[in-house]
Amino acid sequence: MAWWGLACLFGVTCLMEGVMASVNTSECPIILDIPNGTVQPVPVLDKNESALLILLGFGGFSIILALIHNAIRKHIFHDEHNLDTTFDAGGDITLSLTAVTVASQMFWPADILQSATLATKLGISGAFWYGVGVIINIFIFPVFSVHFKTRAPGAKTYLQIIHARFGKQAHIVFCCFALVTNLVIMTAVLLAGKTTIQSLTEHVSEEYTLLVMATLFGSYSLIGGIGTTFYVSYFNACLAFVVLTVFFTEVLYTNTSGFPNLGDISKMYNIVSCVEGPSGTNFMTFRSESGIVYGIVGFFVASSVVYCDQAAWQSRIAAKPMQGVWGFILAGLMWIAIPSTLGNTTGMAYLTFSAENKTHLLSPSQIDEGLVSPLVAEKVLGPAGGIMILCMVFMAVMSTGSGEVMAISSIIVYDFYQTYVRPFRENLQSAHCVLCGKTSMSVRERNPKDTDLCQCPTVTDCQQCSDDILSAKSSSSSGRSAHKCPVHGAYRRYQDYLIDFKSWCIVWVAICIIPFGLIIFSSGIDLNWTFFVGSIVTIPAFPAVVLAIMWVKQTPEGTIAGGIAGLLAGISATLITASTYDGGLSNFVINTSQEYSILAGSCSSFGFSLITCVIVSKCTHKIKTKADADAEWQKMYDIDNPLSPWEQNYREELKQHVYDKKPSFDQMAATFRRAKIIAYVSGGGSIILFTFIIPAIMASFPVLNETEFKVWIGLTQAWTVFMGIVAIVAPPVEEILKIRKQRRANEVRDASKLMVCD
């Protein structure tokens, strides 16, 4: 709740100052002309240098991290040859690593560039309201995450829940929504990467940028899976905080660039406060209608990305419930530091340059492309600034892009190939064992007359499996021929096949980035349009996905109807509103990305989807008793991999309970009841602070005077430095402690086995 303290400190400090400094109006207002976009960031690297930095620098470094991760999983955790480990990194990610990964993957390349774009257009309100809109979703997610991990602990994709609860038709519809979401985010990543590379590198083609990004995304994802993404995200966060600290120090305090008005907040304030903002407003006010609109839109955009993007779920459900809850709260506090500080710093610097020039340095289209940050970095820090921005953006590109490659691959493996193309057991019914096809014990409890029950031993209790594993380790071959267990052997061979398929899937997804990117680049859309308008087609999936985890009475009919109704309503509202602007739909890209077009489309998508899903589900559900509700939740609970059952990962938390193969639903809920309470309290409290209290405090100042502005900038920068220290120090410490703990457990286990043999 540190931002509450910062907001209070802001208000108290300004009141104690008691000096309501007047705005320097001697030369006000400064009205900036719109240029033809002749100014561009000066390239600081040639083509070969860029390739060496990106492929050998970032790519080589990430491959080393992938090899380190594989070695840890092989020698410490002994689960490297496991399909699920590829997509959940063992399911036991530490609190701080969860936090930096969530925060880092929310540092989309679009974020790093978009926050500066909004600050340039709207002033300090742009980055602030944009940050408020996005961070609400980060604080809501702990509630949904803890329910996901306790109700469907074995699920690797959120689409598996859709399939388990609502069947084939709803599953196919939402697989399409999920893939569209991945494509929208990948589009934003490719556009941001292209903008940054081409603005800072000489003579590079679109094909070159796509080849570089495809190689970068696919290489370490193939070697280390999602576990490497966590490590890369850590270094991404470290680099982002370090670069940002250097950047705002140079722009606002030291200034070795030679520009006379940089390095002095008072001078910059006096200049920017005189620049006429949109519709005659002041750039130094939080009372911005456009800013609030973008905040609302940002909430819906972030919702579609957070809840409908498999990459988001994949990274966030890799932690246990308690670590996930605190990880998300810490992630929100980390994330807010980046766009607010970066947006204010680059926005102030750009507006100062433009005011000195009496005209915008960039055209509106260049601003929407995200060129503000590269331009300011190059002007302030020279070639070093350009390289810093390139590194910052490309670390974010690596983190987000590889996450999308892994997300698409997981959907193809788990939700298409394993479900429809080559399932292990055809026509497997719900709550039946995938190994033998017989009724599981969970159904037996509800139907005592069922006598055809599964008798398969768990993999940890199967002596034949232990012999197979020992034989595989001692064999010089891959060990696949050693799968002789009559219960689990066939499924092990099936998993081996899926592991091979997974590898080829990652390769082909990475290759397909190249033709997909060429289509996107030739379409003429920009980053701003993709970021806001593209999400309108994914928002309709948001209510149904959340309700699938939280509401037992949701039905397949409601799920499908809600998604389709929201999609049609959102597209219609966007087009209708866009047609009211000058040029109508003939000026498609510009008018569909107008603030009220986006607002109408986002609200309609969400509203119609939610209302339709709830009404149709209310009319079609068959939940009458608690037994009916338990049976519905059991569909999610039974999602599991018999070779790596989720129960193994929770044995330490469940040691006070007595159960057979896995705990009951009630035992699982009781074990993590405290995590749920913390999620509701911390998440709800954070939302109230960021949605109502802090915005109310900031909006209480009509226009910030110089003192108030200095206090606000100082507090955001202090918070950035503090969160940077936490992000840099905490993850490696926790990771080392976890590895040491597992190593000691391995030593105790090996000693016990040796005593038994003796």
pLDDT band for 71, please (50, 70, 90 cuts).
Answer: confident
Q: What is the DSSP string of 516-551?
A: HHHHHHHHT--HHHHHHHGGGGTTTHHHHHHHHHH-
Q: What is the pLDDT of residue 621?
A: 92
Decide if pLDDT at 426 tops 70.
Answer: yes
pLDDT at 727: 92
Q: What is the pLDDT of residues 707-716, one digit of tens each?
A: 989 998 999 9
pLDDT at residue 108, as a whole number: 63
- Structural contact between residues 602 and 569, judged by C-beta atoms closer than 8 angstroms: no
Is 590 a residue whose pLDDT tops 80? yes
Residue 224 or residue 636, greater confidence: 636
Q: Tell me whether residue 658 is exposed, middle or buried, using C-beta atoms within 10 angstroms of its C-beta: 0 to 12, 13 to 18, 19 or more.
A: exposed
Share of the chain above pLDDT 90, in %: 18
- Confidence tier at 730 by pLDDT (50, 70, 90): very high
The pLDDT value given to residue 3: 44
Fold of 47-423+486-538+622-648+662-757: Sodium/glucose cotransporter (1.20.1730)
637 or 113: whose pLDDT is higher? Answer: 637
Q: What average pLDDT does range 148-168 have in this prediction?
A: 90
> Is the model's pLDDT at 15 over the cut of 50?
no
Return the pLDDT at 25.
Answer: 38
Question: Rounded to an integer, what distance in angstroms lies between the CA atom of residue 88 and that of residue 99?
Answer: 15
Coil, strand or helix: which one is 296? Answer: helix
- 441 vs 446: CA distance, rounded Å: 9
β-sheet bridge partners, residue 432: 439
Mean pLDDT, rounded, for 559-583? 93
Q: How far apart are CA 1 and CA 409, in angstroms?
A: 37
Please give the average per-residue pLDDT across 614-625, as a whole number.
93
Query: What percent of the chain has pLDDT above 70?
Result: 87
**Residue 14 pLDDT:** 44
Cis, peptide link before residue 642, omega less than 30° from 0: no
Please give the pLDDT value at position 90.
Answer: 65
Q: Where in the chain is the domain with CATH 1.20.1730?
A: 47-423+486-538+622-648+662-757
Q: At what angle do helices 383-410 and 109-122 cross, to 10 degrees?
A: 120
Cα–Cα distance measured from residue 425 to residue 454, given in angstroms and rounded to the nearest whole number: 15
Spatial separation of the C-alpha atoms in residues 566 and 173, rounded to whole Å: 13
Residue 162 has pLDDT above 90, yes or no: yes
Least confident piece of the model among 20-29, 77-86, 137-146, 689-698: 20-29
Cβ–Cβ under 8 Å, residues 393 and 193 = yes
Q: Please state, rounded to an integer, the average pLDDT across all residues of the chain.
A: 82
* SS3 state at 361: coil
Average pLDDT of the residues in 141-159: 87
pLDDT of residue 16: 34
pLDDT greater than 80 at residue 347: yes
pLDDT at 10: 43
The pLDDT assigned to 583 comes to: 86
pTM attached to this predicted model: 0.83
Residues 652-667 have a mean pLDDT of 84
Dump pLDDT digits (tens) for 253-262: 886 667 778 8
